[in-house]
Amino acid sequence: MLFLLSFAAPPPPSRFDRRVSVCAEAYNPDDEEEDTDPRVIHPKTDEQRCRLQESCKDILLFKSLDQEQLSEVLDAMFEKIVKVDEHVIDQGDDGDNFYVIERGTYNILVTKDDQTRTVGQYDNRGSFGELALMYNTPRAATIVATSEGALWGLDRSTFRRIIVKNNARKRKTFETFIESVPLLKSLEVSERMKIVDVIAERDFKDGERIITQGEKADSFYIIESGEVRILIKSKTKADKDDGNQEVEIARCHKGQYFGELALVTNKPRAASAYAVGNVKCLVMDVLAFERLLGPCMDIMKRNISHYQEQLVKMFGSSMDLADPGQ
């Protein structure tokens, strides 16, 4: 089996302050049949609305919302300007807001055994702060601005009422499928459920290109239904054939995954992937991949040797894997 390749009336002012003692508040998204909290609306200019929509267009947590839900979320979001060295959230605090980055760079800091280290960065894109709101747990990391920047915040109440409730429905839809994916069997049940919370479902039509060889990788894909062709432009065949000709090297089916190698090796996509017929994929962005699939990393790294063997068998060389063709 080949798993290939290249491979989230205006409120009172206190809403902006850090909240305290919220983790004791149990929240069951199935408790309420109808939303009872007043709708939060922060008025925005047309220019602000455009910037907000641009910042949120790739946030996976928003992908499964219907248009009415998304409009309510965008109405509730507020702009926050940050300064260099400002702490947006602090490890151990209770969760108050979810944040989407419009611009700026930010370090992710984790303190353990009195030692603080940088475990990642955000560079002018992405989102953070969702885990404390989803699971009623303290902030797991500190986020510090390393440049001036701008964020869009979503208050805890709106986040839970719309995002968490929607994710509860999504869990029921995808729970059985996620449990059946071989790669994820090494994860604890709670870890698999967190994956459900951060994935989005995407549909592709017959012949549609899902990933492109040579491009920077930002997502990981699990096939929910359908079939995907993996093709590569081989540098080793370029002397004999048209260098732009793509050669099919594998097909992936339901439960299999692709797009992981570029995330594991931090290199450009080493192959392209195309839908065969109608295809549904579950998609996870790179930051969620790193955070949630750490326990699976050894399995994925072992597959790299399999990829090399297959390329050598087909092309006589594995240079396409070491140095993906553009």
pLDDT < 70: residue spans in the chain:
1-36, 234-244, 302-326
What is the predicted pLDDT for the residue at 156?
94
Sequence-ordered alpha helix ranges (H) in the chain: 46-56, 60-63, 67-76, 130-135, 156-158, 165-180, 189-198, 260-265, 286-292, 297-315, 319-322
What is the predicted pLDDT for the residue at 139?
94
List, for residues 74-105, the tens digit of each pLDDT value.
999 999 999 999 999 999 999 999 999 999 99
**CA end-to-end distance (rounded Å), the chain:** 27
Alpha-carbon span 57 to 30, nearest angstrom: 28
Alpha-carbon span 84 to 88, nearest angstrom: 11
